[in-house]
A and B are shown apart, each in its own frame.
Chain A
Amino acid sequence: MSKNYFQVIRAGINTTFQDEGRKNLYHVGIPFSGAMDKRNYLLSNKLVGNKINSPVLEFAYQGPLLKYFGDKINIAITGDVNFRIKKKKITIDGNCYQSLNLEDGDEVDILSTNKSVYGYLAIGGQIDLKYQWSSCSTNTKAIIGANDGKKFENEQVINISKLNNHLVEKKLNYLNTKIENIRIIKGTNFDYFSDKGKKIFLEKEFIVSKLTDRMGMRLEGQKIENIIDTNIKSEGLIKGVIQVPADGNPIVMLSDHGTIGGYPKIGVVISADYDKLVQLSPGSKIKFKQVDLSSAENLFKLYDLETQNLISQIE
């Protein structure tokens, strides 16, 4: 055990270490993984003065309760998160998007993400983690990455191998906005579906089902009717692909998706909307809106510019 560490008193529902993810392994059968909501991930690192692509804790719904032991340290939480800092004498309601100091014996209690799914906790320093294929992102399915490829468990420890030299005081005024419209590009099997099915897909509301995790998001709504074949020859998948199996309910591939699939692809979520998509919690309404490739490319430029602006505001 190192001199500075966190004791995990309560692990939370689905807490893992994540960074930018791993590339060039789809052909092996290993997906990208990495932080689901990339913008909030990058911002959390910037707020504690870390290198922007450092590993962080990602949590979903209910987060962890952590007790800190060691020298003064910075943390920051991003997302739409309710949390408290318990100091020796007082308990403070925490604010997201600002650096906070922790001292020996302080506790961070992440109660819940507020009408969203994922939140991020960055720690100012280097966490002692195992890298696999240049990433420590935990992929619980393939049992790879930091924490022996497993999600957090009660009583485990997070060792900090090096604290940042300076405690920073940084803050960002930022509000996560929610959207119900998710923009998509037509998929390679769009014409497998009846005119009525296409209309339902592009005009009707769907509800995010409880069967949603880091691998995929299942949606429920009016059945999208297939008129050609409910199977295709198995082929590669990428995150954001929307497959429609025989039951007519769409499934959106998320960061830990299986790398090969055999259901027709009706659409693909544009890159600019991925961070917003993953934050839609079960029960949320979702509506797809079709855009063309060049609009999607421009929307991504805009998204990227906004992210860079937010990062540069944290100085």
Chain B
Amino acid sequence: MIKNILNLGDAALYCDFGKDVNRETNTQVIRYFKSIQKENIASINNLSPSYNKLIISFDLKKTNFKDLKKLIENLNISNEDDLENKTIEVPVCCDENFALDIVRLENKLNLKREKIYENFFSKEFFCYMTGFIAGMPFLGDLSENMRANRLETPRVRVPKGSVALTEQFANIYTFESPGGWNVIGNSPLRIFDSSKEESPNLINPGDIVLFKEISKNQYENFNE
């Protein structure tokens, strides 16, 4: 449930679902997000679900904070488990040319790379949110012994397709972008496709992601 609704500036509602980042809280966020989306409320411009927040930005010409807050508070949020979650397999090549930060991680985590990859590929990930850049999925949760901080100095260019870790999360860079996550491999799979206006993102909040290791040869001959 929403714990608190504040205003973020004059044209957005900031809905707080509590401090913790876990699947239960995030499932609530996603449930609100999908329920509000279904209502097609004309005054709403955008919905931004994240781990434990939902930001609702609106058109100040059509409504205001007080009125929209009332509307959201009185909305019927379905409690049924009607979230249509998919399971997606994402191929990753861990060739040294792609695993830009594996040595850093070995040192930070005090684990051999074989162990890091074994942990990574045996894990089932949950998509908490998508964004920052178009289509980038934020996937959790890495086990405690796999959690490392961001790079001290972020890269100016992280290659497209990079699969990277930080703290309890993994992500996939859908475009070349600046970024500070620890890169451990690269996926040839197209995660964002702007030609599909209905569903441009392959991975959406609530989906389950499994990573599968592929060889350099399989990577180079990858065909969707």
Which A residues are closer than 8 A to B by beta carbons?
A: 23-30, 32, 132-133, 141-144, 149, 185, 187-188, 233-238, 240-241, 258-261, 265, 268-271, 293, 296-297, 300, 304
Contact = CB atoms under 8 A, between A and B. Distances in A.
A230 B33 CA distance: 28
A188 B8 contact: yes
A25 B201 contact: no
A293 B135 contact: no
Nearest to B34: A27
A32 B52 CA distance: 23
B131 A27 contact: yes
Nearest to B195: A132
Contacts of A132: 194, 197
B138 A133 contact: no
Contacts of B174: 29
A259 B132 contact: yes
A238 B130 contact: no
Q: Closest 6 interchain pairs by CB?
A: A236-B48, A268-B9, A236-B55, A29-B131, A296-B10, A259-B131
Contact of A185 (B7, B48, B129): B7
A195 to B, nearest CB: 21
Contacts of A260: 48, 50, 129, 131-132, 138
Contacts of A304: 61
B57 A293 contact: no
B61 A188 contact: no
Contacts of A187: 8
B105 interface: no
Given A141-B133, A235-B48, A297 B21 contact: no
Contacts of B83: none
Interface of B: 6-12, 14, 21, 33, 44-55, 57, 60-61, 64-65, 129-136, 138, 174-175, 177, 192, 194, 197, 200-201, 205
A241 B133 contact: no
A261 B174 CA distance: 17
B41 to A, nearest CB: 10
Contacts of B60: 271, 297, 300
B17 to A, nearest CB: 11
A233 B128 CA distance: 12
Given A233-B52, A236-B53, A293-B65, A271 B10 contact: yes
A259 B57 CA distance: 12
A32 B58 CA distance: 12
Contacts of A25: 46
Contacts of B54: 236
Contact of B9 (A24, A143, A261, A271): A271
Nearest to A184: B9
B133 to A, nearest CB: 6
Contacts of B130: 27-29
A259 B54 CA distance: 12
B215 to A, nearest CB: 29
Contacts of A300: 10, 60
Nearest to B6: A188
Given A23-B45, A26-B47, 19 more contacts: A26-B55, A26-B57, A27-B48, A27-B131, A28-B134, A28-B135, A28-B200, A29-B130, A29-B201, A141-B133, A144-B134, A185-B7, A185-B10, A187-B8, A188-B6, A235-B51, A235-B53, A238-B55, A259-B48
7 contacts: A24-B47, A143-B175, A188-B8, A236-B54, A237-B48, A238-B55, A297-B65
Contact of B48 (A26, A141, A269): A26
A187 B142 CA distance: 31
Nearest to B178: A258
Contacts of A271: 9-11, 60
B61 to A, nearest CB: 6
A234 B136 contact: no
A264 B51 CA distance: 16
A187 B47 CA distance: 18
Contact of A265 (B8, B131, B135): B8
